[in-house]
Amino acid sequence: MLFDTHAHLNFATYKDDVGEVIKRTLKEGVFVVNVGSQYTTSKRAVEIAQNYENGVWAAVGLHPIHLVKRKINLDDSELLESEFQTAGEVFDYQKYLELAKDPKVVVIGEMGLDYHHFEEGDNIPELKKQQKDTFLEGIKLANDVGKPLMIHCWDAYDDLLEILKSNLVEKRGVVHSFIGGYKTARKFIELGYKIGMNGVMTYTTDFNRLIKEVALEDIVFETDCPYLTPVPHKGERNEPIYVKYVAEKVAEVKGISCEEVEKQTTENALKFFNIK
Ligand SMILES: [Zn+2]
């Protein structure tokens, strides 16, 4: 059994076949949390989860790139592909609180910091402040509903660490799609945070040291589908059952069995999300 702790089956890419995708996900013994990136996709994640008695849960939050309305082209990146329009949304605490109280919501996010998508002419200090203030609202929400955080962070690990050191998140969180070095990972782990690993780990040997140095107890798996499809399906639309390739890579690099990796990381996820 595996746990995809960060998927986006709530996104438009799956509008025609979300039911089928979830059916094969559960059939393969994979549990999934669908993660919201703005209000509409957060609400959709909750609605999807409500259709399933077990195996499908939701995260609600406002992604930092949706704070400003603009067109994002992800083609320049190895990590993501496609172009989309961001929302330009202001975090409405009460609206998110209503969603967050739902028992199907097991984590708040994705929220955090993204300094990667700043453009020429941006007022960077102001945008950073806006991201930080919104993230602090997310921390407050997580603490108010007693749930952990699903953190998005790109090119901003130092600032994230500073915020997490001075703002206690009672149930802690996961640094999703972690692409930093093992020393940075250790700093988050020392604070009680988990490291989220996905298909990026299969693209290169650059993360082998990270995989080796981070204890299995501190790792959770994810796909971040539809993005970041692991090898050997890179280039196709990603989906939760492909989380097994991430597990295989970690088992191979650590030199342990796939069974051990699956068992421990799934246990980590169940405990982290407080799923009984
Ligand atoms: Zn995501």
CA–centroid distance, 51 to ligand 1, in Å, is: 21
CA–centroid distance, 209 to ligand 1, in Å, is: 24
Residue 138 has a pLDDT of 98
Residue 88 has a pLDDT of 85
Residue 80 has a pLDDT of 45
In order of 28, 43, 66, 100, 222, the CA distances from 243 in angstroms are 11, 24, 26, 26, 6
CA–centroid distance, 225 to ligand 1, in Å, is: 7
CA–centroid distance, 176 to ligand 1, in Å, is: 8
CA–centroid distance, 187 to ligand 1, in Å, is: 22
Q: What is the largest CA-CA distance in the chain?
A: 50
Which candidate, 187, 165, 168, 170, places its Cα nearest to that of 178?
187
CA–centroid distance, 103 to ligand 1, in Å, is: 21
Per the omega criterion (within 30 degrees of 0), is the bond before 110 cis? yes
pLDDT digits (tens, 9 = 90+) for 64-113: 999 988 777 654 444 444 567 777 899 999 999 999 999 999 999 999 99
∠ CA(151), CA(157), CA(162), 5° rounding? 90
CA–centroid distance, 257 to ligand 1, in Å, is: 28
Low-confidence ranges of the chain (pLDDT < 70): 73-83
CA–centroid distance, 132 to ligand 1, in Å, is: 18
Per the omega criterion (within 30 degrees of 0), is the bond before 232 cis? yes
CA–centroid distance, 7 to ligand 1, in Å, is: 6
CA–centroid distance, 212 to ligand 1, in Å, is: 24
Residue 146's domain is classified under what CATH number? 3.20.20.140
Residue 82 has a pLDDT of 57
- Binding-site residue set for a divalent metal cation: 6, 8, 110, 152, 176, 224
| Distance in angstroms (rounded) separating the CA atoms of residues 13 and 15 | 6
CA–centroid distance, 228 to ligand 1, in Å, is: 10
- Binding-site residue set: 6, 8, 110, 152, 176, 224
Structural domain range at position 99: 2-272
Residue 84 has a pLDDT of 73
8 A C-beta contact, residue 49 and residue 25: no
- Name residue 35's beta-bridge partners: 59
Residue 70 has a pLDDT of 79
Q: How many domains does the chain have?
A: 1
| Distance in angstroms (rounded) separating the CA atoms of residues 124 and 75 | 22
